[in-house]
Amino acid sequence: MASTPFYIVDVFAEQKYAGTGSANSGFAAYLAKHRYVGTDRIDVRVEQGYEIGRPSLIYLKAQDRGGTIHVEVGGEVIPIAQGRLL
């Protein structure tokens, strides 16, 4: 698949998140469903968090399989907090 660069800039809100895999999964599904790059398959990377000094690189794959959209989200993280459910 050829690379198709595109940029989304939020000019109305301050960037607060270094990387959001859950939000990007919905983004990938939207791109696949609406064939944004001309196909029902998406294989992109999202760069996020540079504005706050915490750059993140998130890899997205998605495919519309006849009404069901399969999405994969990947990347690496640097833990900054830890919790435990009781």
pLDDT tens digits, residue range 1-50?
445 555 555 555 555 677 788 888 998 999 999 998 899 999 989 888 88
Residue whose entry in the numeric block shows the structure tokens 């940029």: 7
CA distance 41 to 28: 9
**pLDDT at site 43:** 93
9 or 78: which leads in pLDDT: 78
Judge contact between 3 and 37, C-beta under 8 A. no
Cα distance from N-terminal residue to C-terminal residue, the chain: 45
Query: What CATH number corresponds to the domain at position 64?
Result: 3.10.310.10
| Domains contained in the chain, number | 1
More confident residue, 59 or 15: 59
In a domain, 66, yes or no: yes
Structural domain boundaries, residue 28: 21-75
Residue 36 lies in a domain: yes
Q: What's the Cα-to-Cα distance from 73 to each of 45, 49, 70, rounded to whole Å?
A: 10, 17, 10
| Residue 10 covered by a domain | no
Whole-model pTM?
Answer: 0.69
